[in-house]
């Protein structure tokens, strides 16, 4: 009998073909999709776990992120792992039956950025669930084999799916220069702030301080190992908040990762970082914001951006496989688990993350 393939699709409402979707949220539904076949250098994977990202929910709710617009439809999902089902010609790094993590972005491999190793900056990146590229929340999925990472037996598929957000943490901490003995400040205790926390602690940071408006998020951060959890309030200025953080912790941060995207937090990140330190802007919020640029300049606070990650999957896998990031931490990080058939509920749970007290919602394929 031919194998059936089904996937989780966001689709525009019938008749909606404007430049941007007119009717939102888009439809979110399980659909029959073609069964993929592995071409040269590719592998077909039987999917096991897919984590839901804020971007998946955003495409469903709004139909676009920046210039990436859902045309007619797009399969969601890019934080994933599965079992190799078929390999194409020339594939030697994985074989049928191997359990693998899937790095979701495949670059052109030929441009300047690819050739210099910064392939996350490739203008021709094909990234899962970023229209027009389909995602992999489906039964079967085809991917470039060299962007698959074979898992040791003791690393679960759920942990492997978490390598995607963890890779953002690896890249952010790397760009920040987090090292042994670092004092790290993290603005925001959402999934991305929390992966920065896990990676910073695993990298030997002496203290990690995390700031959020929401108490429950900080409770999770505490369980995951944060040294200082600071509840912020919107009535406080960035200078006041930075001064309160310094008073609580005893010093300013060597490195700060901004993981909210909120403009005031970018300012707090700068004021809260010591002279000569580094701020990494992970959060993506309003395209233009006012920041204390002279303060950063005269104190030589470096401000760096990040875009996803490159060469980070192997590091994230090592952190998990070695137990530097523990199974207990990752188990706590996944707050909700659903079957593929209940994917719509899984998306609702992520959409209402504050009410449902969810961090990472995981789908079992």
Among 308, 324, 344, 356, the residue binding ligand NAD under the rule CB under 6 A is 308
Decide: is 111 part of the binding site for Zn ion (CB under 5 A).
Answer: yes
In angstroms, give the least distance from the CB of 124 to Zn ion: 5
Using CB under 5 A as the binding rule, the residues of this chain from 236 to 255 that contact Zn ion are: none
Decide: is 306 part of the binding site for ligand NAD (CB under 6 A).
Answer: yes
Using CB under 6 A as the binding rule, the residues of this chain from 140 to 169 that contact ligand NAD are: 168
- Bond prior to 334 in cis (omega within 30° of 0): no
Mask of contacts with ligand NAD, 181-220, x by CB under 6 A?
A: -------xxxxxx-----------------xxxx--x---
DSSP H helical segments within the chain, as ranges? 54-62, 112-115, 157-161, 163-176, 191-202, 215-223, 238-249, 263-271, 293-298, 313-321, 327-333, 343-351, 353-356
**Coil, strand or helix at 49:** strand
Please tell me the distance from the alpha carbon of residue 16 to that of residue 70, in angstroms, as a whole number: 11
Q: Is the dihedral of CA 36, 37, 42, 45 positive or negative?
A: positive
In angstroms, give the least distance from the CB of 116 to Zn ion: 10
Task: For residue 258, give the nearest of 243, 274, 270 by alpha carbon.
Answer: 270
Please tell me the distance from the alpha carbon of residue 252 to that of residue 265, in angstroms, as a whole number: 15
Decide: is 107 part of the binding site for ligand NAD (CB under 6 A).
Answer: no
For ligand NAD, the closer CB: 223 or 339: 223
Q: Are 280 and 257 in contact (CB under 8 A)?
A: yes
Binder of residue 107, out of ligand NAD, Zn ion, none (CB less than 5 to 8 A by kind)? Zn ion
Q: What number of chain residues touch ligand NAD (CB under 6 A)?
A: 28
In angstroms, give the least distance from the CB of 90 to ligand NAD: 31
Mask of contacts with ligand NAD, 28-67, x by CB under 6 A?
A: --------------------------x-------------
Q: Are 265 and 288 in contact (CB under 8 A)?
A: no
For Zn ion, the closer CB: 124 or 328: 124
Decide: is 174 part of the binding site for ligand NAD (CB under 6 A).
Answer: no
For Zn ion, the closer CB: 122 or 161: 122
Please tell me the distance from the alpha carbon of residue 103 to that of residue 251, in angstroms, as a whole number: 37
In angstroms, give the least distance from the CB of 306 to ligand NAD: 5
SS (H, E, C) 108-141: CCCCHHHHCCCHHHCCCCEECCECCECCCCECEE
**Count of H-run helices and E-run strands, the chain:** 13, 20
The footprint of Zn ion (CB under 5 A) covers 107-108, 111, 114, 122
Q: Which residues sit at the interface with ligand NAD, rule CB under 6 A?
A: 54, 168, 188-193, 211-214, 217, 232, 259-262, 264-265, 282-285, 306-308, 353
């Amino acid at each position: 009998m031919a194998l059936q393939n089904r996937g989780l699709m966001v689709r525009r409402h019938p008749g909606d073909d404007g430049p941007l979707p007119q009717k939102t949220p888009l439809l979110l539904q399980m659909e029959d999709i073609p069964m993929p076949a592995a071409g040269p250098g590719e592998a077909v994977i039987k999917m096991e776990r897919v984590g839901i990202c804020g971007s998946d929910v955003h495409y469903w709710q709004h139909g676009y992120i920046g210039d990436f617009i859902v045309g007619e439809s797009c399969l969601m999902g890019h934080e994933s792992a599965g079992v190799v089902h078929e390999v194409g010609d020339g594939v030697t790094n994985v074989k049928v039956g191997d359990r693998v993590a899937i790095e979701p972005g495949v670059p052109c491999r030929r441009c300047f950025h690819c050739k210099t190793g910064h392939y996350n900056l490739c203008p021709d990146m094909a990234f899962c669930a970023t229209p027009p590229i389909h995602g992999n929340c489906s039964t079967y999925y085809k991917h470039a084999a060299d962007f698959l990472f074979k898992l040791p037996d003791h690393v679960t598929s759920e942990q492997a799916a978490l390598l995607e957000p963890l890779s953002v943490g690896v890249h952010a901490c790397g760009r920040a220069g987090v090292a042994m003995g670092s004092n790290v400040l993290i603005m925001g205790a959402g999934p991305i702030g929390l992966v920065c926390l896990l990676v910073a602690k695993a990298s030997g940071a002496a203290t990690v301080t995390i700031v959020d408006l929401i108490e429950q998020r900080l409770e999770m951060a505490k369980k995951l190992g944060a040294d200082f959890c600071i509840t912020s309030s919107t009535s406080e200025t960035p200078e006041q908040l930075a001064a309160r953080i310094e008073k609580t912790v005893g010093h300013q941060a060597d490195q700060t990762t901004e993981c909210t995207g909120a403009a005031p937090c970018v300012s707090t990140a700068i004021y809260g970082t010591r002279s000569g330190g580094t701020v990494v802007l992970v959060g993506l919020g309003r395209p233009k914001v006012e920041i204390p640029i002279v303060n950063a300049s005269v104190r030589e606070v470096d401000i760096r951006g990040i875009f996803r990650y490159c060469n980070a999957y192997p590091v994230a896998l090592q952190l998990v496989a070695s137990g530097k990031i523990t199974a207990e931490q990752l188990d706590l990080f996944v707050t909700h688990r659903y079957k593929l058939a209940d994917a719509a509920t899984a998306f609702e749970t992520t959409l209402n993350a504050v009410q449902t007290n969810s961090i990472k919602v995981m789908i079992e394929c």
